[in-house]
Amino acid sequence: MHEDVKKVLFTAAEINSRVREIGCDISTDFQDKNPLIIGILNGSFVFVADLVRQIEGRCQVDFMAVSSYGSGTESSGRVKIIKDLSISVKDRDIILVDDILDSGNTLYYLCQVLEARGPASISIAVLLDKPSRRAKPITANYTGFEIPDEFVVGYGLDYDDKYRNLDFIGVLKPEIYNK
């Protein structure tokens, strides 16, 4: 799999350090609260696992699974909830956690859906932000790294359900996904 990566953008050590910083920020911002961390599957599972271990104080975790990519590299623009929450968000401080904020279609849609359920607040934490691709008016409250418009894999991010287990984030060679 390493031979499919054109270059490494962020090493495991750089990611771990930044996740620790985000966890510290969330701990400060939600001190004496019990936020509900909502991981967006499948890409965020590694980030969520590492992030919640860095949050001091109480928090709960739940997951949603959505689909907007299929097996391609471009968002279809249509978001479908595949797995919904098992915990109510009514009057809760929620933190949506995703691997990447790209077009913004998924997180924009989920914010609308969740807002209708009556949470106390909605915050967004993303490991990666690709603002050059934004199609919806949405920003993250907590961002790991801003990246250029390149297709990245690793640390939970995939191409065709491969590369999630890489401990770094790298740019996938175009010949891999342009077959």
**Burial classification of residue 71, based on how many CB atoms lie within 10 Å of its CB (0-12 exposed, 13-18 middle, 19 or more buried):** exposed
60 alpha carbon, distance to own chain's centre: 17
Active site residues: 102
Strand 121-129 versus strand 142-146 pairing type? parallel
CA neighbor of 125 nearest in space, from 7, 17, 39: 39
φ, ψ dihedrals at 29, nearest 5°: -70, -30
